[in-house]
Structure 1
Amino acid sequence: MSEWLTREEALARLNVRPQTLYAYVSRGRIGMRPDGADPRRSQYRADDIAALATRRARGRSPQAIAESAIAWGEPAITTAISTVLHGRLVYRGKDAGALAATATLEETAGLLWASRSRVSFASLTPSAVRQSGTPTAFARLSALAAEGWPSLGRRPAMLQQDGAAATSVLATSLGAIPGSEPVHERLAQGWSVDAAGADLIRRALMLLADHELNASTFAARVAASTGAPIAACLLAGLATLTGPRHGGAGAAAIALIEDAERLGPDEAVARWLAHDRPLPAFGHQLYPEGDPRAEALFSEFKIDVGLLRLRDAVLAATGLHPNIDFALAALTRGLRLPADAPFRLFALGRSVGWTAHAVEQVTSNRPIRPRARYDGPIGSN
């Protein structure tokens, strides 16, 4: 639940006049609602006020604004694809948690790409791939990128076709069997998962499809701004996703779960914190009150007692809630998926978002080329 402030509290935190507060509300920069105890009075959303106060404290220096945009700061790129708004993930104006009830990854791609035609990730020819996994995905996507057309000067529909082809290659590389069925069904067959498990995979892929301007998406957009082929943009995203602070967090989450099983949850949490290691799969700066993507997955399957105990131990020790990485680790264990399934699901689902952002970046025709603030020595003449 969001925190709400009285008029007096809001004015004190912002140090502004009432007229300025009302102007922020009218522009949609601060949420407002009637006070439940006294409908004649209003309450104001605390996280909106905190964000405004932070921006005002930085001042309007271009350098300060530019530097603040790099790490969880000011919005740096305009997009119509997705956003996180008051603790909800929104895909083109639609709540992703609600869409997860029925939407496939193909339908999500149609929405995020604003496609005028039905999206398919079909792979109708028998796959020559003998093994599946991350190395295979890199190899096949690299080959596709090397052969791809540059993206500049081409219609969005053509770029979307390139994205669909690249996602199809990723799907079979990461374990999906060839076919024309929705990709979650083919992935479930490749992993020997029943229909109920296939629906959980569908839900996970859809929830992972996009997440605003995260690190891998930014990398994909940078590549797109140079006119690189769409497959190369996805390759940039995939490379960035491998980092332990991004798509690699699922492996760390499983390691924490295994420690909790061996040592007990309280001892495992204490050891990770004592070694100055951030707890993987818990907490998210965009979701201080809990990751709605994790909640949307947890609502459909029952996690085991050991994971519940770990969740409670972390909450008691840190106040942090489980995020999507914890949910993917729980799903992997519950369905007995390959050990690297969290990364595979992340990569396949997010390829849809990478494509959406790459196409949006290309059609905007704007380069991404920030300047560096030099902090080194100046040589003498």
Structure 2
Amino acid sequence: MAERLTTQQVAEQLGVKVETVYAYASRGQLSSERAPGGKGSTFDAREVAELAARGRRTPMRPNAAGEPPAGEPWASRPVTVRTGLTLIENGRLYYRGQDAVELAARHGFEAAIGWLWGLGSDAPVTLRVPPATAEALARASAALPDGIRLPDRLRISATVAAALDPLRFDLREQTVQAAGAALIAGMVEALPRTAPDPGPDASLAARLWSRLASAAPAPEALACLDRALVLLMDHELAVSAVAARVAASARAHPYAVVSAGLGATDGPLHGAASPLAHRLLGEVLVGGAVPVVSDYLRTGRPIPGLGHRLYPEGDPRAVALLDAVGRLDGGAAVVAAVAEVEAAAGPAGRPALRANIDLALAAMALAAGMPAEAGEVVFAVARTPGWLAHAVEEYREEPLRMRARGSYTGPRPSEGPERPEHPVPSSS
């Protein structure tokens, strides 16, 4: 029989606590058996040796205090992301314990950022770009060829703003927040203006509206955009937040963190889903939901903007935003089109699929006369303070803790240098 070790012996061999040994067993990294007499557990000595060897092969990295990571071999330590920012529970979304829908109904974007950043909702964040940075962003924008997509302009603006900030590697919380506030304003400043200038003292929602719409907004329209920004600030560990935290784990500066988040939104499954939903709704408004949805199903295309695995009973953000869209001039028809899509896409005999925030963003853009990419822009600008908040949290953790381990499936290295089967004649 293979040698068996007690729990205490395993802990001593691995250099970990007894509790960690049981955690290994619960994750399937060690197999345990009840000890004779039923007291305690025993473990296969070979498995323990292999686990210890894996830990030795992976260099241990110091934590923020310069000390080795405690508790267990670095290679097998699971990454637990502790966050005090966002909770999704019982079909609701909360920012620091505050219902996001209620926060969006009472406060604008600047005040909501203050709440998310731990400053309180009565401490709205001033979103202003320094004059020198604004001039550089304007020059960079003017130099771009015609036809550059608005989301791509946001990515360029983050790079330009980073190059102009000599303090970008100062990762103290207040410095990161100050840089982030200027960056959020700079991202909007980098977009071409398409409507009358609301002035430098206007809310960020008003400034963003002047880059996405062709006419000045009615009060209810501006309130609708402001609500969308608040509802989209953060969404727990969405893929863009994970990308941002990975960058922050490597101690990338806040501009690079935002660039990482922006990169993760460039696919159709996160962030860039709204333009697809915009096209769908546009077709429905012209030809009705049933033939449009039927064509999607016939061609095997997923119907954009429907359903969310975290909200099986419906996305509360979408409900709140569609309520605001319905109050816009022409918004009722767009909201009715959303309901038609929900009904047409629902399986027979089952509850209809519900609109998610991507479809609600598309509805807002259509009702406001904005281009298809407007929803993607609103998503990116709104999510930026969330990425920065995640970065601040991650800067407090061990550096480089977000490194995943690969399970190699390629060919094994050869034991020695490769030799051809048949000698190659010399040319000399």
Shorter-normalised TM-score: what interval?
0.7 to 0.9
1:243 to partner: Cα distance: 0.8
1:145 aligns to 2:162 (yes or no): yes
Structural RMSD (CA) = 2.6
1:274 to partner: Cα distance: 2.5
Q: 1:227 to 1:276 in 2, by over 3 A?
A: same
Q: Which of 190, 201, 223 is residue 180 of structure 1 equivalent to? A: 201
1:328 aligns to 2:369 (yes or no): no
Gap runs ≥5 in structure 2: 1-24, 31-77, 327-331, 416-428
Gap runs ≥5 in structure 1: 1-57, 64-73
TM score, norm. by length of structure 1:
0.75
TM score, norm. by length of structure 2:
0.68
1:16-27 to 2 correspondences below 5 Å = none
In the other structure, the counterpart of 1:280 is: 304
1:62 to partner: Cα distance: 5.2
1:238-317 to 2 correspondences below 5 Å = 238-302=262-326, 303-304=332-333, 305-315=336-346
Number of corresponding residues: 314
Q: Which structure is larger by alpha-carbon Rg, 1 or 2? A: 2
SS in 1 for 2:378: helix
Equivalent residues of 2:279, 2:372 under 8 A apart: no
Deviating above 6 A after TM superposition, structure 1's stretches of 4 or more consecutive aligned residues are 150-153
SS in 2 for 1:300: helix
SS in 2 for 1:83: strand
**Take 2:312 and 2:101, find their aligned partners in 1: how far apart are those partners?**
17
1:373 aligns to 2:340 (yes or no): no
Counterpart amino acid of residue 115 in structure 1: L
**Take 2:261 and 2:98, find their aligned partners in 1: how far apart are those partners?**
24
In the other structure, the counterpart of 2:174 is: 157
Equivalent residues of 1:124, 1:179 under 8 A apart: no
Offset from partner CA, 1:207-246 (integer Å, 9 cap, x none): 0100011111111111111111101110111111111111
1:379 to partner: Cα distance: 2.5
Q: Which of 365, 370, 384 is residue 337 of structure 1 equivalent to? A: 370
**Take 1:76 and 1:323, find their aligned partners in 2: how far apart are those partners?**
28
Equivalent residues of 2:343, 2:353 under 8 A apart: no
Percentage of matched positions with identical amino acids: 34
**Take 1:150 and 1:233, find their aligned partners in 2: how far apart are those partners?**
15
In the other structure, the counterpart of 1:50 is: none
Q: Which of 381, 386, 397 is residue 364 of structure 1 equivalent to? A: 397
In the other structure, the counterpart of 2:82 is: 78
**Take 2:249 and 2:168, find their aligned partners in 1: how far apart are those partners?**
9
1:255 to partner: Cα distance: 2.1
Equivalent residues of 1:217, 1:354 under 8 A apart: yes
Offset from partner CA, 1:161-182 (integer Å, 9 cap, x none): 1111111111222467561322
1:136 to partner: Cα distance: 2.1
In the other structure, the counterpart of 1:5 is: none
Equivalent residues of 1:122, 1:181 under 8 A apart: no
Equivalent residues of 1:260, 1:268 under 8 A apart: yes
1:301 to partner: Cα distance: 3.0
Quick check: 75-84 or 310-319, which moved more?
Answer: 310-319
In the other structure, the counterpart of 1:47 is: none
**Take 2:369 and 2:221, find their aligned partners in 1: how far apart are those partners?**
10
**Take 2:388 and 2:376, find their aligned partners in 1: how far apart are those partners?**
18
Equivalent residues of 1:175, 1:187 under 8 A apart: no
